[in-house]
């Protein structure tokens, strides 16, 4: 099933980089930029994360939060946050249940090898928990401006 704009966003039940429990319900009343990326501290993922970091004031001014999701564990997320000064939450999805629920766990290929992994995407979820914008296979550089535009629309 592919998610559509206007759908109720699938619930999230996981932990963040500090081992705290996180649900999507925790953010009702705020817009959420939920972005999925393949791996902490890789070039494209760092570009995307630092882009959200650099526009963080504009995001918070729009009454929004950023939640990054990857299959990395809490220790890896904490190191990524510390290394790049990321001011937002990264969610643990080692079993890719969240990625599955959002339809972003799929077949990928690199250098002729096919494997399963996270398809770089983002979702903007409104304060009522409904999907307001979707970008699948978004570029790391374009993700930030597109998500911010959806939040401020």
Catalytic residue among 12, 34, 45, 151: 45
Distance CA 118, CA 66 (A): 18
pLDDT (tens, 9 = 90+) of the chain, 153 residues, equals 589 999 999 999 999 999 999 999 999 999 999 999 999 999 999 999 999 999 999 999 999 999 999 999 999 999 999 999 999 999 999 999 999 999 999 988 878 888 899 999 999 999 999 999 999 999 999 999 999 999 987
Secondary element (H or E) of residue 91: strand 89-92
Assess whether 97 carries a catalytic annotation.
no
> Domains in the chain, please, with CATH?
13-152 (3.40.30.10)
């Amino acid at each position: 099933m592919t998610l559509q704009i206007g759908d109720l966003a699938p619930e999230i039940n996981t932990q963040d980089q500090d081992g705290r429990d996180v649900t999507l319900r925790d953010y009702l009343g705020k817009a959420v930029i939920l972005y999925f990326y393949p791996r902490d501290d890789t070039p494209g993922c760092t570009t995307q994360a630092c882009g959200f970091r650099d526009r963080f004031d504009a995001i918070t001014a729009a009454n929004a939060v950023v939640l990054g999701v990857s299959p990395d564990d809490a220790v890896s997320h904490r190191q990524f946050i510390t290394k790049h000064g990321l001011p937002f939450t990264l969610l643990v999805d080692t079993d890719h249940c969240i990625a599955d629920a959002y339809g972003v766990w799929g077949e990928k290929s690199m250098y002729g090898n096919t494997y399963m992994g996270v398809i770089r995407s983002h979702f903007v979820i409104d304060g009522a928990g409904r999907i307001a914008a979707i970008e699948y296979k978004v570029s790391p550089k374009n993700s930030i401006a597109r998500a911010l535009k959806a939040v401020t629309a």
